[in-house]
Chains A and B, each alone.
Chain A
Amino acid sequence: MQFAHENRDGIDIVRLPERLMMADAADAKAQLKAILLNGSGRLILDLTQTGFMDSSGCGTLVGSLQTARKQGGDVYLFGMGNNVRALFELTKLHTIFRIFDDEKAALRAMP
Chain B
Amino acid sequence: MTTSATLLTLDSDPTKLGDLQARVDALCRDAGLDSLAACEFTTAIIEAVTNSIKHGYLGEPGHPIRVHWRRAHDSIDIEIRDRAQPPPAGFLDHAEMPPPDAESGRGIAMIRAYADSARYARVDDENVLNLTRRL
A residues lining the B interface (CB < 8 Å): 19, 21-23, 51-52, 54-56, 58-59, 62-63, 65-66, 82-83, 86-87, 90-93, 95-96
Contacts and interface: CB of A to CB of B under 8 A. Distances in A.
B102 A87 contact: no
A54 B102 contact: no
28 contacts: A21-B46, A22-B17, A22-B50, A22-B54, A23-B14, A23-B18, A54-B47, A54-B110, A55-B47, A55-B50, A55-B105, A55-B106, A55-B107, A55-B110, A59-B106, A62-B100, A62-B101, A62-B103, A63-B103, A65-B101, A83-B36, A83-B40, A86-B40, A90-B97, A91-B97, A91-B106, A92-B97, A92-B100
B43 A95 contact: no
Contacts of A92: 97, 99-100
Interface of B: 14-15, 17-18, 21, 25, 35-36, 39-40, 42-43, 46-47, 50, 53-54, 97, 99-107, 109-110, 113
A52 B100 contact: no
Contacts of B39: 51-52, 83, 86
What's the dominant secondary structure at chain B's contact region?
helix
